[in-house]
């Protein structure tokens, strides 16, 4: 049966950030896939069918289900009727007349995926498996800035988790600014000072006060990072709302924030 949900809307307030996740249970994921008939646009169906590996095809399908249904929930739109264009890096974009002030970003790690939606100028989100921390630390020792390398070296056994936290933040910032992680490894420079994140390089197109940077972990084994730029300085606490597709209830306790550049609360 084609996917035709009734339009509804979850308003996004000025200081709201909505994070949508795929459910953790395999049975829930199967139900999402089974109900996706008619959801994809023709170009998405063609790409889905082009994957030779069934696992990659399923990951792509679930990502598009998450992206479409999450956006539809905030736009009072039919998820199947949303149409995307693609930027130079392949990032999906909605026409401004449809998206309004909403910005969004998508990331996945293993069987998990996240969609971040907010009101603002730019947004980027990154999700990484925490088990990659040692690999990322090796990359950091080659490509991070000298100041970041010195900071990592001062943390001994805790260097690997901090390296992947910095990686996620860099990934989020370059996603928001439209470049790639390899362009931003040394160009974007940050410091993790306890629970606070500071810019060591100039932020892309804006003052540091106009950016929210946040990192933490989701479900204990995935490193999550977010970068959001707004037109005005963020003087008030930013509220993060957690959602899950399917019948699985949203659980705010799954997200643990370890560092941020301004006050953040999980609603």
User: DSSP labels for 196-260?
Assistant: EEEESSPPTTS-GGGEEEEEEEETTTEEEEEEEE-SS---SPEEEEEEESTTSPP-GGGEEEEEE
HSE-CB for 102 with a 13 A CA cutoff: 26
Res. 149: pLDDT tops 90 = yes
Res. 150: pLDDT tops 60 = yes
Determine the length of the chain: 267
Q: Is the dihedral angle over the CA atoms 112, 81, 3, 60 positive or is it negative?
A: negative
pLDDT at site 5: 44
HSE-CB for 2 with a 13 A CA cutoff: 9
Confidence band, pLDDT 50/70/90 cuts, at residue 4: very low
Helix H or strand E encompassing 181: helix 181-184
pTM for the model stands at 0.93
Q: Are 103 and 117 in contact (CB under 8 A)?
A: yes
pLDDT at site 8: 56
pLDDT at site 6: 45
d(CA 92, CA 198): 29
DSSP 178: T
CATH topology assigned to domain 16-266 = Ribosomal Protein L22; Chain A (3.90.470)
Question: What does the pLDDT look like over 192-214, one tens digit per residue?
Answer: 988 999 999 999 887 999 999 99
Please state the domain extents for the chain. 16-266
- How does the average pLDDT of the chain come out, rounded? 91
Res. 68: pLDDT tops 90 = yes
Q: Are 176 and 184 in contact (CB under 8 A)?
A: no
d(CA 91, CA 32): 23
pLDDT at site 99: 84
How does strand 211-218 pair with strand 222-229? Answer: antiparallel
Collapsed DSSP state (helix, strand, coil) of residue 266: strand
Q: Are 165 and 257 in contact (CB under 8 A)?
A: no
């Amino acid at each position: 049966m084609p996917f035709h949900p009734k339009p509804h809307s979850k308003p996004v307030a000025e200081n709201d950030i909505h994070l949508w996740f795929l459910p953790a249970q395999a049975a829930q994921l199967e139900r999402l896939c089974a109900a996706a008939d008619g959801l994809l646009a023709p170009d998405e169906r063609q790409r889905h069918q082009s994957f030779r590996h069934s696992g990659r095809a399923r990951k792509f399908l679930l990502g598009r289900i998450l992206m479409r249904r999450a956006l539809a929930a905030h736009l009072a739109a039919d998820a199947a009727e949303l149409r995307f264009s693609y930027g130079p890096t392949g990032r999906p974009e909605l026409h401004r007349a449809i998206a309004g002030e909403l910005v969004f970003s998508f990331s996945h790690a293993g069987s998990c995926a996240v969609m971040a939606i907010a009101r603002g100028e730019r947004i980027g989100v990154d999700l990484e498996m925490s088990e990659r921390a040692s690999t990322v630390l090796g990359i950091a020792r080659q490509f991070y800035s000298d100041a970041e390398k010195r900071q990592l070296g001062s943390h001994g056994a805790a260097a690997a988790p901090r390296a992947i936290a910095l990686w996620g933040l860099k990934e989020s910032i370059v996603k928001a600014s439209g470049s790639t992680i390899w362009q931003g490894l040394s160009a974007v420079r940050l410091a993790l000072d306890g629970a606070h994140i500071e810019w060591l390089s100039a932020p892309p197109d804006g003052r540091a006060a106009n950016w929210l940077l946040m990192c933490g972990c989701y479900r204990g084994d995935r490193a999550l990072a977010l970068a959001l730029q707004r037109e005005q300085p963020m003087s008030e606490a930013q509220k993060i709302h957690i959602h899950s597709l399917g019948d699985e209830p949203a659980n705010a306790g799954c997200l643990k924030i370890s560092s941020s550049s301004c006050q953040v609360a999980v609603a």
